[in-house]
Structure 1
């Protein structure tokens, strides 16, 4: 038991590290025109992993008393594959040139990634960022709060992560099976419905990846938050009506099932993926690792808080337990509308320039014209 607890802690530490490093690495190696697509593929793989876990956990597969240990051990196969495939991946060219000051290694990595030797423009952009970074000291998380130019993007970064977890996504996922059963579905049918919801999550995350560099991060995040707000409102009304009305109302259950599906679609369209790679887009190479660390800390802390608080809310206020999420979603939608800039098609220099102190002194609002490029 003691060793099991230790292994579980190591697993969570590893997961926390990877959820920060993977989107940062993808953001650094991808070209500007495909940065949103590559960043969203991180979330796509996560949703696909969740779907596969749901499939493996079905009673018809490995979700039985005799075979559960095989389901638990299956991730070892994927870990081995990742370790093997990562050995062929190059180091981030941006890291090599800016942090290690090795232009030749960065050029080789960039040529391997792009499949062409015409990488001079990207190399020059990295060199310019490196020259600026030389006059700036090393960054820690506390430095992010002290610098006016970094404090604003940090607040945006943390709010984006909070909008993901305080949207109630974990509560909806945990509660989905019981919602489906309230629509007079059997336990087995409810599990199949949950599996379908997982498939919808994967499909919509893929669609979001394709649209990320066309519609933009801010637009998709606003769209996703709007859908989450509406779906949460319908879920709350359905649960409240079901609690206070007499008799059984199967049609309420079906409405709640539809609301859950809409909720997953809205989450996958923006809030599920954007916060992870958006942080890496808002910061230059120097403060980026510290900012990503802060974002991961806030994301997982919010995840833990929701997981800890929601059962208590459900016990105390029952059908009203979705109301706090509705309030949070309204706040995050307004914040995104008025404070979050669009980063689609912009270089790191162009994005960080949005947060220069003189811009804020003039009452700058980061709602920029997407056609400027």
Structure 2
């Protein structure tokens, strides 16, 4: 997932350098200057084609997971990572800006597959009591990658005419590291037992993952899931969409992905420097404030790891969306203050402070919940049969929303000016209400227990609650639901 974070943020810092390279190549080839509009279109294509590749990779994730396994799919995916990074690295040496665009597309496919396969793999290998915390490590890797790209992209390091090819090419390092380390990692025991019916291989994998020979409880839980899912052993996307029992989990998974991308966070990631400069900061201060965004994301994701299995997914999601809603309003207020009191220097200084604090707080609340939970809750809401198809659909929606925000935000900003963040405020309010009304708590529940919540909801309006006071009470509730 570090690949995803790094390649999301890496293209923005060397924007001017890459545009100058495109102009130089065009002049060398055709003996005339490239128009400003063409430069803008080519650079926008290099940025947005990453999301198009991500859509393709995310949509293919379920098929790759079923055919090659979770670990096998991730291992093969690194070949794409190496190819994409090398194309970008050698673009300047080859005098071909097309290599940047093709490389961004290939690395987009790589990242799309990662966003589908990694949460699936992590949720299937994690012990029940650590599934939330380990799922949050996905987002931690994304934020570390984002921060790394921001730091390396400053002019003092690699944000120069000579340094930017290496900056883009460094994406080869995580891919090579995975090619070395993944072969010694175990395959998902759920995939081995439920999909392949290789029980002894699943036991071996579990013994390595748990560092213990006492794995019968995990095996029995997988067998229960296998028995419950015999009719859905290999469910297609169309069957998933048409299934009455699985429709609500699918809707929740899709809305959670939309809540992440349509919250306005990508507008902050892609255009934070220009947002800060328009609020009154100098160019240099704006760049360091942008690095502050990456640092806060990383710090708050670390804080949320222990909270995920202590507080619960739903609670953190409500806090995160609520906080983002409040501070998106403050961002709008800071823009309006500049508009109405722009002639008073003291007000400009105070407004710049308000804008930076509001934006950093907005990012902080994103890291608490909406940053990590959508990736893992989709994997948690579905059992082994429909999980790959559900992840493919959810990740496709995520990348599509990512692409739309990246393309639409500059036009939206020109049209709405100081009110740019108001549509995001409205969407955040809608997502908060949906989460409060519809999203169940998945903390410390097995995949079969989570599915039982929706089965019960499909047939009756009675609320289902699981008592944790004794094993006997939990088992009796499960028998009642299955009956």
Normalised-by-shorter TM-score class: over 0.9
Distance 1:250 1:364, change over 3 A: farther
- Structure 1: distance between partners of 2:257 and 2:198: 33
Whole-Å Cα distance in 1 between the matches of residues 103 and 379 of structure 2? 30
Q: CA deviation at 1:362?
A: 2.3
Counterpart Cα distance in 2 of 1:327 and 1:365: 30
TM-score by length of 2: 0.74
3-state DSSP of counterpart to 1:101: coil
Task: Assess, with a 3 A threshold, how the Cα gap between structure 1 residues 135 and 144 changes in structure 2: closer, same or farther.
Answer: closer
2:399 is aligned with 1:297: no
- The alpha-carbon distance between structure 1 residues 223 and 92, as it changes in their structure 2 partners (threshold 3 A), is same
How many equivalent residue pairs?
371
Match of 2:135 in 1: 39
In the other structure, the counterpart of 1:188 is: 284
Give how far 1:173 is off.
Answer: 2.2
Q: CA deviation at 1:184?
A: 4.3
Aligned to 1:271: 370
| Structure 1: segments with no counterpart, 5+ residues | none
Q: Offset of 1:29 from its aligned partner?
A: 0.1
Q: CA deviation at 1:177?
A: 1.8
Describe the SS at the equivalent of 1:234: helix
Task: State which of 259, 274, 278 in structure 2 corresponds to 1:178.
Answer: 274
Corresponding residue SS for 1:355: helix
Superposed counterparts of 1:131-210, under 5 Å: 131-136=227-232, 138-182=234-278, 184-210=280-306
> What secondary structure does 2:383 align onto?
coil
Give 3-state SS (helix, strand or coil) of 2:184's partner: coil
- Tell me, yes or no, if the aligned pair for 2:270 and 2:406 is still in contact at 8 Å: no
Structure 1 position 363 matched with structure 2 position 443: no
Matched, 1:30 2:126: yes
Assess if the C-alpha contact under 8 Å between 1:97 and 1:103 holds in 2: yes
RMSD, matched Cα: 1.7
Deviates more, 1:216-225 or 1:188-197: 188-197
Q: Pick one of 220, 229, 234 that aligns with 2:330.
A: 234
Shift of 1:40: 0.6
Partner of residue 349, structure 1: 448
Q: Indicate the larger mover: 83-92 or 93-102.
A: 83-92
Separation in 2, partners of 1:117, 1:230: 50
2:190 match: 94
The correspondence for 2:320, drawn from 213, 216, 224, is: 224
Determine which structure has greater relative contact order: mean sequence separation of CA pairs < 8 Å that are 6+ residues apart, divided by chain length.
1
1:16 lines up with 2:16 in the alignment? no
CA shift for structure 1 position 242 = 1.8
Would the alpha carbon gap of residues 191 and 246 (structure 1) be closer, same or farther in structure 2, given more than 3 Å must change?
closer
* Residues 281, 352 of structure 2: 8 Å contact kept: no
1:246 is displaced (CA, Å) by 4.2
Whether 1:253 aligns to 2:352 is yes
Q: Give how far 1:240 is off.
A: 2.3
Q: Alpha-carbon deviation of 1:182?
A: 4.5
Match of 2:382 in 1: 283
Give the CA deviation at 1:364.
5.0
- CA change 1:332–1:369 in 2 (3 A) is farther
Q: Show CA shifts across 1:53-78 (max 9, x none).
A: 11110111111112111111111122
2:204 equivalent to 1:108: yes
Q: Could you report, residue by residue, the CA deviation over 1:49-105 in whole angstroms, capped at 9, with x for unpaired residues? A: 110111110111111112111111111122111211111111100000000001100
Distance 1:59 1:271 in 2: 32
Partner of 1:335: 434
Measure the CA separation in 1 of the matches of 2:460 and 2:163.
64
CA displacement 1:185-243 (0-9 Å, x = unmatched): 33222212211221111010011111100000000000000110011010011112322
CA distance in structure 1 between the partners assigned to 2:232 and 2:304 by the alignment: 36
Cα distance, 1:4–1:265 mapped onto 2, change above 3 Å? closer
Whichever of the two has the greater Rg, that structure is 2
Shift of 1:8: 2.3
Matching residue within 149, 154, 158 for 1:62: 158
